[in-house]
């Protein structure tokens, strides 16, 4: 195999001043802003919208004059009637009879108009439904009144039937039965008299027959009259006996039952009247509730119709709403919008602040109250970190596993250049700590520090350090105390096997120590990297090391595979040119480190 020669680059570890800052990008927003959103149900489109940057006016006062109506006021000011009513809802005005001198508010300038879809037709249909519900309610209320009258009449009829039944029973007991008995007995007595008369006539006619004055026919006629009267007597007596024994009891029983039925009918009528009244009242309540629901639907539809027009609630400059972390259609005519979507911002004041999203790795270095410098359009403004969320901003996760925290920076300046306005992107630099004097730490470029797997599940952060005696690279675990975009401050360690010491040579390309890189698994965080110590020729002159800072050493890499060479190339490409130049230049002089900060 051909011997491949590679120039190893090192960084001389030494203590130096380190101004630790955190740089983030943010967005200028107003500290007090009125956000206008779409309150229309479902999805619709923007028909018209005022241009961004337009100065608009809010509501104005108006005094009602003689003869003013809601329609005339709306036509005069070119505002929607529903929006005028909604803006003055707290006044509880009778819009059909407005009082002269009453002060109302007229909506501000029209900012946006949304597609009303089919709300006009739906409102007309709902008004018809309300009218029908009112008719049903009136009809049910009339049914209650008529039911009261019919119930009273039915109750009186039941009571009257009961009274008549009692009278019929009393008549039967005290008159009808006794009269029938007396009548029958009188008839029997009359027949008995007729029998006696017939007997006498028969005797007389018999003697006359014997004398020859009458014929046998007359005698037979008298006998027949006697026999008929006797027979009628027997029949009447039998009927009288049956009447007294059976008919009297039956008639009394029927009349008594009629009385009982009449009495029960009174109670039944009371229950029936109460049930009918409950049903009628229930229908009234149901129709009242139905009318309320229909009116609520009508009010809701009117509200939705009013939501199609968005008026300025205050004076201000129109700014379209933009969400940094979400993709969607721009705010413009024809864009689709949904309920709750923010459309327009109207700042109440000219004061601004900065909205930030802090990565999880930077969160622990920040604290509320830190001094901040905001750079926008080549202008630096002082500020303070006024808010730092303790919980993760779930809206920033997106499709990655990175975590971010919301933060806000209040700008101390109250006057801004004309070129600075809300929505602009800014760079925020937060001062974490100034490591100088006794607080100095050993500072190395970010590329010097890497992570290796010491076991299958345990990673370890450290550097590769050149052993001057053996000329080989040794692994040195380190603890990162502070860091910024270019450098890392290493925490001092008492353990000789941990941390860095001044004047040690730290490898600037630690990835070249990878014997075998599994890039596919490394991306997923599953791979394990095995490191190999590769001998390197030390520098021949210590003076050259101290003067130049970064030293090139020739080494024959006999056992390095092509994968390691490719990894070195990729690692050198990933590191910024600024970091590489800082690594070479920071060791030339002690003052150049401060200049780079």
Look at residues 434, 453, 487 and tell me which one is the last residue of a structural domain: 434
Residue 94 lies in a domain: no
Same domain, 51 and 145: no
pLDDT for res 421: 77
> What's residue 545's pLDDT?
38
CA 61 – CA 103 distance, rounded (Å)? 7
Other CB atoms within 10 A of residue 569 CB: 13
Summarize the confidence of residues 408-417 as an average pLDDT. 82
Structural domain containing residue 285: 121-305
Helix (H, G, I), strand (E, B) or coil at 185: helix
Q: Are residues 276 and 333 in the same domain?
A: no
Same-domain check for residues 405 and 448? no
pTM, two decimal places: 0.51
> Are 140 and 264 in a shared domain?
yes
Neighbours of 509 (CB within 10 A): 21
Q: Are residues 387 and 460 in the same domain?
A: no
Rounded to whole angstroms, the Cα distance separating 176 from 154 reads 30
- Examine the domain organization and report whether 377 and 295 are in the same domain: no
pLDDT in tens, 58-117: 999 999 999 899 999 999 999 999 899 989 989 889 998 999 999 999 999 999 999 988
Which of 376, 596, 484, 489 is CA-nearest to residue 22?
484
pLDDT at 317 over 60: yes
pLDDT of 327 reads 62
pLDDT at 135 over 80: yes
Mean pLDDT of the chain: 81
Which pLDDT value is given to residue 590? 37
Does residue 109 belong to any structural domain of this protein? no
| Overall average pLDDT of the 459-486 stretch | 90
In a domain, residue 91? The reply is no
Residue 80 included in any domain: no
Q: Assess if residue 427 is contained within a domain.
A: yes
Pick from 142-146, 161-165, 436-440: least confident? 436-440
**E strand or H helix at 216:** helix 216-242
Residue range 300-310: mean pLDDT, rounded: 91
Together in a domain, 171 and 217: yes
pLDDT, tens digit (0-9, with 9 covering 90-100), for 381-391: 899 999 999 99
Residue 111, domain member (yes or no): no
How many domains does the chain divide into? 3
Q: Which CATH number do you get for residue 337?
A: 2.40.30.170
Q: Residue 279: pLDDT band by 50, 70, 90 thresholds?
A: very high
Q: pLDDT tens digits, residue range 526-580? A: 333 343 433 343 333 333 333 333 333 333 333 333 433 433 444 344 333 334 3
| Minimum mean pLDDT range among 41-45, 231-235, 418-422 | 418-422
Neighbouring-strand partners of residue 554: 7
Alpha-carbon distance of 281 to 147, in angstroms, equals 10
Question: In whole angstroms, what is the distance from residue 199 CA to residue 596 CA?
Answer: 168
What is the pLDDT averaged over residues 506-520? 62
| 468 lies in the same domain as 349 | no
Please tell me whether residues 393 and 455 are part of one structural domain: no
Clarify whether residues 186 and 299 are in a common domain: yes
Q: Which of 286-300, 322-336, 474-488, 581-595 has the highest mean pLDDT?
A: 286-300
CA R_g for the chain? 57
> Mean per-residue pLDDT for 273-292?
96
Q: What integer is the mean pLDDT of 171-189?
A: 91
- Does the pLDDT at position 479 exceed 90? yes
Q: Estimate to the nearest angstrom the gap between the alpha carbon of 480 and the chain centroid.
A: 45
Say if residue 281 is in the same domain as residue 335: no
Query: What string of DSSP letters covers 375-388?
Result: EETTEEEEEEEEEE
Give me the pLDDT at residue 555, please.
33
Q: Is 326 within the bounds of a domain?
A: yes
Within 10 A of 30 (CB to CB), how many other CB atoms are there?
Answer: 21
Question: Is 349 in the same domain as 461?
Answer: no
The tens digit of pLDDT for each residue in 149-165 reads 999 999 999 999 999 99
Q: Which of 255, 280, 305 corresponds to the end of one domain?
A: 305
Confidence of residue 400 (pLDDT cuts 50, 70, 90): low
For position 325, what pLDDT does the model report? 54
CATH code, domain with 559: 2.40.420.20
Other Cβ atoms closer than 10 A to 209: 15
Indicate whether 186 belongs to any domain. yes
* Axis crossing angle, helix 177-211 with helix 216-242, rounded to the nearest 10: 160
Please write the tens of the pLDDT for every residue from 27-64. 888 887 888 999 988 889 999 999 988 889 999 999 99
Query: Which band of pLDDT confidence, cut at 50, 70 and 90, is reported for residue 516?
Result: very low
Q: What pLDDT is attached to residue 584?
A: 39
Last residue of a domain, one of 305, 339, 359: 305
């Amino acid at each position: 195999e051909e011997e491949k020669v590679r120039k190893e680059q090192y960084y001389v570890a030494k203590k130096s001043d380190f101004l630790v800052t955190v740089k983030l990008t943010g967005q200028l927003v107003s500290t007090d802003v009125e956000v206008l959103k779409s309150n229309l149900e479902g999805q619709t489109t923007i028909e018209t919208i005022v241009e961004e940057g337009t100065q608009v006016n809010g509501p104005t006062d108006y005094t009602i004059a003689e003869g003013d109506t809601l329609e005339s006021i709306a036509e005069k000011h070119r505002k929607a009637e529903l929006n005028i009513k909604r803006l003055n809802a707290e006044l509880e005005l009778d819009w059909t009879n407005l009082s002269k001198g009453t002060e109302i508010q007229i909506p501000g300038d029209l900012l946006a108009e949304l597609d009303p879809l089919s709300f006009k037709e739906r409102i007309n249909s709902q008004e018809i439904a309300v009218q029908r519900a009112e008719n049903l309610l009136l009809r049910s209320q009339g049914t209650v009144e008529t039911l009261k009258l019919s119930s009273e009449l039915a109750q009186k009829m039941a009571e009257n039937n009961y009274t008549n039944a009692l009278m019929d029973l009393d008549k039967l007991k005290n008159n009808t039965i006794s009269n029938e008995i007396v009548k029958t007995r009188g008839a029997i007595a009359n027949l008995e008299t007729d029998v006696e008369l017939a007997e006498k006539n028969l005797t007389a006619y018999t003697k006359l027959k014997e004398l020859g004055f009458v014929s046998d026919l007359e005698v037979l006629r008298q006998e027949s009259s006697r026999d008929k009267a006797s027979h009628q007597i027997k029949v009447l007596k039998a009927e009288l006996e049956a009447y007294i024994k059976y008919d009297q009891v039956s008639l009394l029983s029927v009349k008594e039952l009629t009385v009982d039925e009449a009495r029960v009918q009174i109670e039944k009528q009371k229950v029936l009247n109460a049930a009918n009244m409950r049903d009628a009242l229930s229908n009234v309540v149901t129709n009242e509730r139905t009318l309320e629901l229909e009116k609520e639907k009508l009010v809701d539809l009117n509200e939705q119709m009013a939501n199609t027009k968005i008026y300025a609630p205050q004076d201000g400059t129109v700014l379209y709403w933009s969400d940094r972390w979400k993709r969607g259609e721009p705010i413009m005519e024809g864009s689709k919008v949904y309920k709750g979507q923010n459309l327009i911002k109207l700042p109440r004041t000219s004061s601004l602040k900065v909205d930030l999203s802090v990565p999880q790795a930077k969160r622990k270095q920040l604290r509320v109250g830190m001094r901040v410098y905001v750079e926008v359009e080549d202008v630096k403004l002082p500020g303070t970190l006024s808010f730092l969320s303790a919980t993760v901003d779930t809206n920033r996760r997106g499709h990655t596993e990175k975590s971010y925290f919301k933060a806000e920076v209040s700008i101390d300046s109250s006057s801004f250049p004309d070129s600075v306005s809300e929505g602009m992107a800014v760079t925020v630099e937060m001062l974490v700590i100034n490591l100088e004097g006794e607080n100095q730490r050993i500072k190395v470029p970010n590329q010097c520090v890497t992570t290796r797997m010491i076991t299958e599940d345990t990673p370890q952060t450290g550097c590769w350090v050149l052993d001057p005696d053996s000329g080989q690279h040794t692994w040195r675990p380190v603890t990162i105390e502070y860091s910024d975009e270019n450098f890392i401050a290493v925490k001092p360690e008492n353990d000789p096997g941990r941390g860095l010491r001044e004047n040690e040579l730290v490898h600037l390309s630690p990835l070249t120590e990878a014997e075998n890189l599994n890039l596919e698994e490394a991306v997923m965080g599953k791979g394990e990297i095995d490191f190999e110590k590769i001998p390197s020729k030390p520098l021949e002159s210590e003076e050259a090391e101290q003067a130049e800072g970064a030293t090139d050493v020739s080494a024959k890499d006999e056992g390095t595979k092509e994968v390691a060479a490719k990894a070195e190339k990729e690692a050198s490409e990933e590191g910024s040119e600024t970091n590489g130049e800082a690594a070479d230049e920071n060791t030339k002089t002690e003052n150049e480190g401060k200049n780079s900060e």
